Amino acid sequence: MTDGNGVDDWTEWPSREALNREGRTRARLWYSYLGRGFGMGAVLWVTFVQEHRDAAHTWVVAAVAVVGTLAFWRFLRCSREQRLMPALVWLAVVFAQALLVVMDGGEAVGILLMCAIALGSVQRLPLIVAVPAASLGTLVFLLLAPASVQSLGNAATVAGLGALGYVTRVDWEARAGTQRLLVQERAARAAEAESAALAERARIAREIHDVLAHSLSAQLVHLEAARVMLDAGADRAQLRERIVAARRMAQDGLAETRQALSALRGEFVPVAEFLKTLAEGDGATVAVEGLVRPLGAEAGVAVRRTAQEALTNVRKHAPGAPCAIRLAYLDGSVELEVRNGAGTLRRSGPDAAELTRSGSGLGLLGMRERAELLGGTLQAGPDGDGFRVLLSVPAPPGP
């Protein structure tokens, strides 16, 4: 059954969700059971206690009532499975039992079965079938029943139960719509939680990858320099200095990994303070412009990683070059600029070229991808005699 008032409302079956008991409160179910029990009890009282009849007629009425009840139960099963012809056949059996029992004096049982036909057909069959079937069945029943049954009161009772069937059908569909929305909402929440978990894993993996790439690249620079020096016959003290530096880089990498995880949790130190600490080890200058304010976790980590990668590239490609870092807090964004002048290679020849090529070679590409994921940009290229890296990422505006 659709939500509109078009042809589909008349031709479609009730939805399967509307026919099940999911979503019904326990109180509502008990009211339904008590109402049915009270109605059947009143009919049985009138039929077998109040109306005096002989034993033969009593057994006939009881047998017909049992057969009609079983047939109606089969109708409920077929309608739930949306099998139209079997449902109509069993409904015809119920109608025949109602007519038979009323002919034998069981007027209350016959009216009860007709009310069940009107109520159940409108609730469970396509309306284009249910309404004509219930109306025609009621008309035939009243025409063929004894004169004592042919009254406007009985007709109104059966018609009223049919109207009640339509009201409950609409109510069931509304409940089914609510259940479907709840299922969709739960599925959407589960998908959102799964997506958030995957995004978080990807973000953590990206951070760890960047930290390790930076750390291992720096270690490789020192180790490759140690190899070049060893081939050149450098003394032991110089080799030891390079190895100690590589060891220090490994320790720094572990510390940076912990810092990255802390940064993802929003537990990092301010970006400006981090850049000053970072610049001290490389002899770079730091200038902070604008009103300093807290940055989001993603923006803060992007600034940190970009600064680290840029300084690593300076050490690799222009050792000894002057380097300047500028952090600018703008309206709605933050900019990081790392600019270095021309450096002097400590070595020449193929070994120096090999040293320059050491490292992952994908640092700036990774930084550019990170910036684009945040809706920002990263520019990197020659600038006069040196090199310039400019990162711009969105950031919350200041107070």
Tens-place pLDDT, residues 311-357: 888 877 777 788 999 999 988 889 999 988 765 444 333 343 443 33
How far is residue 319 from each of residues 15, 87, 323, 344, 386, measured CA to CA in Å?
74, 89, 10, 6, 12
For residue 89, the model assigns a pLDDT of 92
Spatial CB neighbours of 10, under 8 Å, sequence gap ≥ 6:
126, 127, 128
Spatial CB neighbours of 268, under 8 Å, sequence gap ≥ 6:
259, 262, 274, 297, 300, 301, 304
Residue ranges in the chain modelled with pLDDT below 70 = 1-8, 21-60, 196-197, 200-201, 203-204, 207, 210-211, 214, 255-256, 258-269, 342-363, 398-399
Q: What is the DSSP letter of 49?
A: I
Domain ranges of the chain: 8-150, 190-394
For residue 187, the model assigns a pLDDT of 86
Other C-beta atoms closer than 10 Å to the C-beta of 119 total 21
Mode of pairing for the β-strands spanning 333-340 and 386-394: antiparallel
For residue 350, the model assigns a pLDDT of 39
Distance from C-alpha of 399 to C-alpha of 234, rounded to nearest angstrom: 57
CATH code at 190-394: 3.30.565.10
Report helix, strand or coil for 382.
strand
